[in-house]
Amino acid sequence: MDNRITIIPKPISVETGNKIINIRTKSVSICINTDSKADLYKTAATAFGVAGIKTSDKGISVFIELQPQDKKQEINEGYNLTLSDEEIRIKAESLNGIFYGCISAAQLISRADNELPELNITDQPIHSWRGFLLDTSRSFYSTAFIKKMLDACALHKLNIFHWHLTDDQGWRFEVPGYPRLTEIGSKRQDYTMPASEDGFYDEEKLIRRWYTDEEIKEIIRYAQERCIQIIPEVEFPGHSSALLAAYPEYGCTGGPYQVENRWGIFPDVLCLGNDNIFTIYEAALKKITELFPSDYIHIGGDECPHERWEICPKCQARMKTEGLDSAAQLQAWGTTKIASMVAKLGKVPIGWDEVLDNNKHNKLPDNVIVQSWRGTEGGIKAASLNHKVIMSPTQRFYLNLKNKDSFEEPGRLGVTTTKKTYTFSPAGKELKLENPEQRKLILGGECTLWTEKLPHSRNAEYLLFPRFCAAAETLWLPEEKKDFEDFKQRLEYHKKLLHQLDYRYYEGELE
């Protein structure tokens, strides 16, 4: 018998005994001995279902115990799992902990070849922010695929789904009073894609390419059942071609503009001399707040050219009124206003690391969380200024890059191997922080999938896995507990589970 425990992400502590437990079935019988039985049962059943394990009266007995937790503390996502006498016992202080304990049990049962060693697992994540970003602006994906990715997050104990909803290539949610955002801003003439038989990706056909309120609410419910918080992102002030195509009066030149069918960075951005842009963003942010129960709203802020502001009379007048030295400083001024709007709605703003730039006259509000993507430098700077940080460095956590350097491999903008993803730790030793206390401001990280040239979700899966698995483990484990050689061995078993669950994955070199 192979006693190897192949759970991904790897638990903090695994103790195995000499006794062998017979596993005669791949189903479980869930037993609840505490209050809130309905919620606990649903949480446990959902977790087992994510890994393809069904519930049955004749299945392996799984006893669930939710222990009381001090409500003043942050959610404890840890759990304890024991396997003995042909039964599994899971204890935790939160529903999240129960969920992750069941995920681990499900992976064990899926891997079991009729028997497992007696064992005791004690486990808890090192990072509270373990995320995945999916861009649905460059490529519009079905709600079914989004749910599939939420299942993937749940299977790997990720608790954040960052939903990129607006960009140059599409606006993906409805805003009351601004119907053209979706009627015009969601569609583009895209001659870079081949027509598909069903027409879904044939951009010349009038097919809805935004998410309705009911679809968004259903996805949020689905995520909540899997202990996942969805963070919506609305770009400001760059990456705004879709908005400008719908409402050209919000640009510096007045247009005409188009929903971009190209990839890149474009000079036409929101006119920060026009007060009405804050009116439309107020409506958009209010709608986001009504739809998403999340504590956070991502306001973008990346890759915003300033060249239009340098010659726009309205922007020049704004600079003079606000006492700004350069057009670049307009972005910091606008970011301050948008962050204030988010805060008034009871949410915490998050911005890409450019929000730290050019803020001589407009200090970044203290409550803004900085997501560092241009390497780790933005995160280090943000932490030194006492901002909370999410790490997403391009060369380590961007899964749209190629798996290996070959023209035959999909992906773009570089190469990131599975090992390169695995060996990055968001608050690890490689970060040169002046004050050790600053590491505590690093909440964790997000792996990301930007979807230029990825119209088909099956190809997206190929780029994601197994680097997605590596990112999940590096966000769960302390740096000193990580072992890439051990991860590679467990991954060989884990890929069989991915195959059973119908995820496509890359099978080539990992380093």
Judge contact between 292 and 218, C-beta under 8 A.
no
Looking from the CA of 147 toward its CB, the CA atoms found within 13 Å total 13
Q: Which two tokens stand for residue 414?
A: 């570089």
DSSP states of 464-511 as a string? HTTHHHHHHHHHHS-GGG--HHHHHHHHHHHHHHHHHTT-----S---
Beta bridge partners of 27: 54
Q: Which two tokens stand for residue 257?
A: 């503009």
Listed range (36-40, 301-305, 467-471) with the worst mean pLDDT: 36-40
DSSP states of 243-284 as a string? HHHH-GGGBSS--------S-S--S--B-TT-THHHHHHHHH
Q: What is the mean pLDDT of the chain?
A: 92
Angle at 390 between CA 126 and CA 242, to 5 degrees: 145
Beta bridge partners of 163: 134, 232
Number of neighbours of residue 220 by Cβ within 10 angstroms: 21
Give residue-wise pLDDT tens across range 392-413: 999 999 999 999 999 989 899 8
| Burial annotation 3-23 (CB, 10 A radius, 16+ → b, else e) | eebbbbbbbbebeeeeeebeb
Give residue-wise pLDDT tens across range 44-86: 999 999 999 999 888 899 999 998 776 656 789 999 999 998 8
214 is catalytic: no
Distance CA 308, CA 349 (A): 26
pLDDT at residue 207 above 70? no
Which long-range CB contacts under 8 A does 1-6 form with residues at least 24 apart? 1/113, 1/115, 1/117, 2/113, 3/116, 3/117, 4/489, 4/490, 4/493, 5/108, 5/119, 6/107, 6/111, 6/489, 6/490, 6/493, 6/494
Residue in 183, 218, 303, 479 annotated catalytic: 303
Q: What amino acid occupies position 502?
A: D
Which pLDDT belongs to residue 356?
97
Judge contact between 469 and 491, C-beta under 8 A.
yes
Residue with tokens 């247009």: 255
Give percent of the chain with pLDDT exceeding 70. Answer: 95
Which pLDDT belongs to residue 202?
52
The interaxial angle of helices 95-111 and 484-500, nearest 10 deg, is 80
Coil, strand or helix at 49? helix
Q: What amino acid occupies position 313?
A: P
Q: Please, which pLDDT band fits residue 435 given cuts at 50, 70 and 90?
A: confident
Give residue-wise pLDDT tens across range 265-285: 999 999 999 999 999 999 999
Which pLDDT belongs to residue 112?
74
Judge contact between 55 and 48, C-beta under 8 A.
yes
Distance CA 426, CA 446 (A): 9
Which pLDDT belongs to residue 434?
79
Give residue-wise pLDDT tens across range 188-206: 875 555 555 555 555 555 5
What average pLDDT score do residues 1-10 get?
A: 81
Distance CA 126, CA 423 (A): 15
Which pLDDT belongs to residue 1?
47
Distance CA 387, CA 369 (A): 6
Higher pLDDT, 172 or 23: 172
Listed range (44-53, 130-139, 140-149, 430-439) with the worst mean pLDDT: 430-439
Higher pLDDT, 112 or 20: 20
Give residue-wise pLDDT tens across range 105-132: 999 998 877 788 899 999 999 999 999 9
pLDDT at residue 142 above 60? yes
Judge contact between 129 and 160, C-beta under 8 A.
yes
Residues in Cβ contact with 268 at an 8 Å cutoff, skipping those fewer than 6 apart: 240, 241, 244, 251, 252, 253, 257, 308
The pTM (predicted TM-score) of the whole model is 0.95
Residue with tokens 């510096």: 252
Distance CA 102, CA 106 (A): 6
Q: Please, which pLDDT band fits residue 36 given cuts at 50, 70 and 90?
A: low
What average pLDDT score do residues 338-354 get?
A: 98
Show the domains of the chain with their CATH numbers. Answer: 13-123 (3.30.379.10), 129-500 (3.20.20.80)
Which pLDDT belongs to residue 4?
76
Which pLDDT belongs to residue 71?
66
Give residue-wise pLDDT tens across range 217-236: 999 999 999 999 999 999 99
Task: Measure Cα distances from 336 to 162, 359, 391, 394, 423 in Å.
Answer: 22, 10, 22, 26, 35
Give residue-wise pLDDT tens across range 325-341: 999 999 999 999 999 99
Distance CA 328, CA 357 (A): 9
pLDDT at residue 414 above 50? yes
Q: Checking DSSP bridges between strand 442-449 and strand 129-135, what pairing results, if any? A: parallel
Distance CA 399, CA 133 (A): 10
Distance CA 254, CA 257 (A): 8
DSSP label at 399? T
DSSP label at 137? S
